[in-house]
A and B are shown apart, each in its own frame.
Chain A
Amino acid sequence: MTAVLEMRGIGKAFGTVKALDAVDFDCRAGEVHVICGENGAGKSTLMKVLGGSYRPDTGEVLLDGEPVRFQHPAEARAAGISIVHQELSLLPFRTVAENIFTGMEPTRWGLLDRRQMDERARSLLDRLGSSISTSALVADLSIAEQQLVEIAKAMLVNAKVLVMDEPTAALDDHDAHSLLKLVGRMKTEGVAIIYISHRMPEVMAIADRVTVLKDGRHIWTRDRRDVTINAIVTAMVGRELQDFYPARGATEPGSPVLEISGGQSRYLRDINFSARAGEIVGVAGLEDSGKGALARALFGDSPLAAGEVRISGQPVSLHSPRQAAAAGIGYLPGDRKREGIAPRQSVRDNALLTLQAMAPALSSPNGGARSRQKVDQSLRHMDVRAGDFGQEISTLSGGNQQKAIIARWLMRNPRVFVFVFVEPTRGIDVAAKAAIYQTMRALANEGRAIVMISSDLPEIVGVSDRIVVMHQGRIAGELPAGAEEGAVMQLALGVAAAATGREMAS
C-alpha cells in the first residue's frame, strides 16, 4: 500500500521557538494513523501545515507522490485534505445545512441551491447516524451535536485525507462510540485518516499505526500490534509514568461538606447529592444528562429553582458565581479559553483573580494574602511553568493555564471547602493530566470535598471515590470506587436505572 500523504522533513519555527523539527510523517489510504503527543509536541502545528494554515520553513508535503505547497486552507481543501477542527468553527446563527456547506455552497444558475444543500446535508447526517434537522440553527444545538456537524462538514468533500483533531473531546462515551464506528467505516472506503487523541483506550481501539511526537520531533512510528499504552505514554512523556491515577485516600471520608436536597431547575429534577470531606465524587452521564447543569447550579451560574444547598451544614444561597465563591466553592471550568483565563492578563493576575474579586474593591491588588511572594509560591507549588509570571497567560500551554486556574482557587485556601472540576483534563496531555489528578487528590486529602464532572469514563472510574451517574436530569444511581466502566455506562444510558437508582433514593 502506498502512502497517499507524505510529509518529509517538515520544520517550522515561530521566532526562536522550533515548533517542528524535521518531522517525517505519512498516511496510507484505508488506514487510521494516530498521532500522540503532549500539548505543545507539535501535533496541531503539523496539521496546520498540512491544512495550509501554516507554510513550513523546511521540508515538503507530497500528495499522491506529487509535491504540493498550500498557500491558504482553500487550496488544501481543494486538494482533498479535510480537517475536523478541535476548535469549533461553526456559525451559530446559520442553519446546519449552511454550516456544512460553508465555502462549498452548491449553486444553480449562480444562485444558492438550497434544496441540494438540504438533501446532501441530510444524507451526510444520516450517515453519521444523527437526526439533527438540517434547518436548525447551530446555536440551538448541544456541543456534541455541533461536533457532529463539524464532522459532517469535513466529510462533505470527498476527502483523500481526513484529519480528526481530538474529535471525541467534547463527546460523551456514547457519542464517541458511534463516532469511532464511523471512522471504521470511512477507513474501509479507502480514506486516509489521521487521528489525534489523548484518550488511550480509543487510540488502541482504532489505530492501525501510531506516531509519537515530542517537542516538535518525531519519536517513532509503529504498528498498533507492536505498541502498548505504556509504551506510547512513555514515549510522549519521555519517562515512565507511574501511578497515572493517584492512590485513593487512606482515611475514610469525613462528614458531608456539600449537601443538596430536593434540587430542581429547568434542567434538573430531584437532586439529592452530597460530597464528604476528603472524597472525590465523580459525576458521569451523557451529554445533556444534566451533569453540566449540576455543575452550573453548584456554581450559581444557572441556579437551582428549588431545593436546599448546605455547605458544612450551613444553608447557602448560590445565585451567582460570586455567591458560590464566597460560600467556599471553587470552580474549574471545562472550557478554559472561554471560561477560565483572562488571556491578556499576567499569569500572576490570573492566579490572583478570585482573591482580587473577593477583596474590598479599593484594597491593594497585592496586599496581604495577595502579595507577589504568595502568588509565586502558589504558582510554583502548582508547578506552573512560565519564564516569568508577569507574562500574559495566553502565551502558556493549556496544561499550565489549567494549573494557574487551580492556583487561583488554592490562593483562597483555606476558605474553599468544595472544588468543582468540570472536564478537568479536556485537551490536556498525559503528563499534565497526571499532575492534575495528583492535585485533586491532594486537595481531597486536605479535607475538602471534590466534585469531578467528566465525560471521560476511564478518568471517572480511575479517580473517583464514589461515582454519581446522571440520566435525563436526574441522578440515575451511584456506584462505589473502582466500578466497572460498563456499569457506569448502563446507568448513564438509563438501562440499569431501575435497580440501583431506586435504592439510592430511598
Chain B
Amino acid sequence: MSIDILPAGRARRGFRDVPVPVVVIALAAIIYVTAAVITGQTNQISFAGLTGLLQRTVALGLVGLGQTFAILVGSIDLSVAALISTVAVLASYLMQGDPGMIVPAIAACLALALCVGAINGGLVAYWGINPLIATLSTGLILQGVLSAGFTYLGGRVAPEYQALAYQGLFGVPLPVLLLAVLALVAWFVLAKTRFGAHLYAVGGNPDGAKLAGLRVERFVLAAHIIASLGACVAGLYLAARLQSGTPWIGRDGIYDLESIAIVVIGGTALSGGKGGVIGTIAGVLLFASLDASFNMFGVDAFLKQVLRGAIVIAAVAVYAVRNKGHVA
C-alpha cells in the first residue's frame, strides 16, 4: 500500500514542521554574524556588541508583545504608535524631573493605556467596528489631542528614572531584562493558563468559543487592553531612554506597522488563533540584526528601506507560500 493517505494525528517531518521562531532566530543570527565577519567587525559579536543588539529590540519588542495578543484574538491594533507618544509625553510632563513623581506618573500612564485599550476593545468587541478602522481612528484622535496639547517636549523625566534605562545587571541592560521578563510572562500566560487557552479559542473560532461558553467579547477587550499596556510600557521605556517624550516618537518609529510585521514574521496568523510571543521575539531579533547589519555594511538609508521591504515580504512568504487556499 503505497498510497499517501495520512493517518490520523500523524507526525509529519520536514521544513514546515520546524517552528517558525527557530527558523527566524537562526536567520537573524546568520545575518548578524555574516555581516560582522564580512565587514571585519568581529568585535560586534562580543558581549557588548550583543547587548547593544538586544538593546535595539526593546522598544519594538515591548509593543510587539502586546500586539501579539491583539492579533491572536483576530484583531489588530494600529493605535500603538500614538499611544507610545502619548505615554512618553505624559510621563515626562508629569515627572518634571521630580523623583517623587515617578510612581504617580507611571500609574497615570498605565491608567491611560487601560482606558485606550478598553476603548479600542469596546469599539471592536462590543460595537463590532472593524479593528483596523477602530484603532486607526483612536490613534488619530490620540495623536491629534496630543499634538494640540503638547506642542513641544513636555518636561523631562526624573534622573533616577532615566537611569533605569541606562543601568544594567551583570552587564545586561535593565530594559533588555525587562523585555525578557515580560516576554516570559506573556509566554507563560499564553501557554500555561486558562486565560491564554481561551484567547487562542476566541481567535481561532469566535463562534465556536462562544458556543463553548466563553464570553468572547471580554477576551477581545482584554487582548486590546494588553496591547495598549504593551505600548504603554514601550512608551515608558522610551521616556526613560530619551529623557523626555516628544509627540512624534511613536509615529517616527513606525511602531504600528513594524509591530504588526514582526508578529506576522514570527508566525502568528493575522486571522488569529495561531502563533505566540516567542515568534514575536524572534521577529524583533531579526529586525534588530538587520538594522545592525545594515549599519555594519554602511547601507544607504534609502536602500535600507528597499531591503527591509523585500525582507518583510520574503520572511512571511517563506511560510505562507505553502498555504493552500486564498489569502487576501
A residues neighboring B (CB under 8 Å): 51, 53, 72-78, 83, 85, 87-94, 96, 98, 101-105, 107, 110-112, 131-133, 135-136, 140-142, 145, 153, 266-267, 269, 288, 290, 472-473
Contacts and interface: CB of A to CB of B under 8 A. Distances in A.
Contact of B213 (A78, A85, A92, A266): A78
Contacts of B205: 89-92
B161 to A, nearest CB: 33
Contacts of B196: 112
A267 B9 contact: no
Contact of A473 (B3, B9, B194, B274): B3
B221 to A, nearest CB: 15
A337 to B, nearest CB: 12
22 contacts: A51-B211, A73-B213, A90-B208, A93-B204, A94-B200, A94-B201, A101-B197, A102-B197, A102-B214, A103-B213, A105-B198, A112-B194, A132-B8, A136-B9, A140-B6, A140-B8, A140-B10, A141-B8, A142-B8, A269-B3, A290-B5, A472-B1
Contacts of B213: 72-78, 103-104
A153 B212 contact: yes
Contacts of A72: 213, 215
A74 B215 contact: yes
B1 A74 contact: no
Interface in B1-49: 1, 3-6, 8-10, 12
Majority SS at the chain A contact face: loop
Main secondary structure of the interface of B (DSSP, over half): loop
A74 B12 CA distance: 36
Contacts, number: 113
Contacts of A101: 197
Contact of B211 (A53, A140, A141, A266): A53
Given A112-B197, A140-B10, A92 B204 contact: yes
A475 to B, nearest CB: 13
B9 A288 contact: no
Given A93-B273, A102-B209, 11 more contacts: A53-B211, A73-B212, A85-B208, A90-B208, A92-B205, A93-B200, A110-B193, A136-B10, A145-B8, A266-B4, A472-B3
A145 B214 CA distance: 24
Contacts of B201: 91, 94, 102-103
A153 B208 CA distance: 11
Nearest to B191: A112
Contacts of B8: 131-133, 136, 140-142, 145
A492 to B, nearest CB: 15
A331 B238 CA distance: 58
Nearest to A52: B213
Contacts of A290: 5
B3 A267 contact: yes
Nearest to B5: A288
